[in-house]
């Protein structure tokens, strides 16, 4: 608020609350992957996703529940229990990024990030009437992200508009020495 009052606006997400799926590192919060065994795991570094959003002034509001180690389709973990669908809590969120989707669809956060190995961005977003993108391999860094399958995994934003998704990608894409697959990102 002080920066905005002084006329310094870092990005369209300056001061905007966002959530991260609980397999994406942010130094202020534990990264559990939904497993009680990792309840005290505190990352030493931000993921490229968290660092990019913070540089743009976004507020990392919290971590969203997911399928444990992020493997499954129902949003069930030993840390957070079961994620309910935003429109009918008795229904499934249809993917391990369901906590992020429900957070955005219920307006707890303006933007959420999830990960995708096999439809974990598109299915929860579709079930929550949100926009998302499963980025091309190497477009978003996987450094600081608990993997399920490092060859297939991708990180992506979930939001209420395509514009929000595009603006978020502006903050989080690019070359990251922590993920060599992003080396070609500077060419795009």
Of the candidates 142, 78, 71, which has an alpha carbon nearest to the alpha carbon of residue 113? 142
Residues 168 and 75: beta-carbon distance below 8 Å: no
114 close to 47: Cβ distance less than 8 angstroms? no
122 belongs to the catalytic site = no
| 96 counts as catalytic | yes
b (16+ CB within 10 A) / e for 44-81? eebbbbbbbbbebbbebbbbbbbbbbbebbebbbebbe
DSSP state of 135: P
Instruction: Please pick, among 92, 96, 97, 125, the residue that the annotation labels catalytic.
Output: 96
Catalytic site includes residue 120: yes
Catalytic residue, candidates 47, 103, 120, 125: 120
SS (HEC) of 91-103:
CCCCCCCHHHHHH
Catalytic option among 21, 47, 97, 141: 21
Closest CA to 30 of 48, 44, 16: 44
Q: Which residues are catalytic?
A: 21, 96, 120
């Amino acid at each position: 608020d002080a920066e905005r009052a002084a006329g310094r606006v870092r990005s369209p997400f300056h001061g905007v609350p966002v959530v991260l799926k609980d397999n994406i590192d942010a130094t202020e919060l534990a990264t559990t992957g939904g497993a009680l065994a990792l309840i005290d795991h505190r990352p030493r570094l931000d993921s490229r996703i968290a660092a990019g959003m913070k540089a743009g002034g976004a507020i990392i509001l919290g971590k969203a529940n997911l399928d444990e180690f992020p493997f499954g389709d129902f949003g069930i973990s030993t840390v957070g229990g079961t994620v309910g669908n935003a429109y009918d809590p008795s229904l499934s969120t249809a993917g391990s990024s369901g906590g992020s989707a429900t957070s955005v669809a219920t307006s707890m956060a303006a933007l959420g990030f999830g990960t995708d190995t096999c439809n974990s961005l598109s299915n929860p977003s579709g079930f929550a009437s949100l926009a998302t993108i499963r980025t091309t391999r190497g477009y978003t860094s996987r450094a600081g992200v608990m993997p399920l399958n490092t060859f297939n995994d991708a990180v992506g934003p979930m939001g209420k508009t395509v514009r929000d998704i595009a603006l978020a990608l502006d903050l989080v894409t690019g070359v990251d020495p922590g993920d060599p697959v992003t080396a070609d990102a500077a060419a795009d």
